[in-house]
Amino acid sequence: MDTASFLDRLKGQPWYRGQVVHVQPIAPRAARYASLDRPLPSALSAALETLGIRRLYSHQAQAVNALRAGANVIVCTPAASGKTLCYNLPVLETLLAEKGARALYLFPTKALAQDQLRALHGLTSAAGLSVHAATYDGDTPAEERAEVRRSAQVLITNPDMLHLGILPNHRSWARFLRHLRYVVVDEAHTYRGVLGSHLALVLRRLRRRCAYYWASPRF
């Protein structure tokens, strides 16, 4: 069903009649593509091809190029524009090149964390990569937490767990923090007002702990 048919059907429902005040069509825009400064590792290129991705959007290429150059990056684009690849590609590239490298992904909700874990697994499976990505939150069984600390290359958690479970116990996380190369803060627009102020302080604490272990991750 196309959009026009859906609206007609919706407006025809007795329980919804009269509730649509205005409809504004938005014309489509042509996609803009760009190239990376240097090619991705062959495994990642093949994985993208397997997933039907033959070219990167301009914002994806710009983000990867900037992160490769050592910059911190924030990406602001509409929903479903491929922001996840902006960080998954450079993270996986680093994991391939640097034994022991680690990445920390922060999501505001557990549901979103599970969605992104599945997306990451889809990409690594397509690339034939053995990358240990794991969630670490209040639902993680106590008997599994030590193994996650020890072996997770990509740790997926939330700001509360970083604040309450990781930073106060940083000595248990020393190896992870020493090799931390990327910190991803997803859905950054949700951290506003007092919540945003709190997260800013938590990230400052994280950076101090990383510096203590001689690490300087990109954000």
Predicted confidence (pLDDT) per residue in 140-169, tens digit = 888 989 999 999 999 999 999 999 999 999
Q: How far apart are CA 209 and CA 167, in angstroms?
A: 8
pLDDT at 1: 77
pLDDT at 78: 84
pLDDT at 160: 95
pLDDT, tens only, 44-101: 999 999 999 999 999 999 999 999 999 999 999 888 888 999 999 999 999 999 989 9
pLDDT at 175: 96
Q: What is the reported pTM?
A: 0.88
* Percent of the chain clearing pLDDT 90 (strictly above): 74
Query: Where does the pLDDT of residue 17 fall: very low under 50, low under 70, confident under 90, or very high at 90 and above?
Result: confident
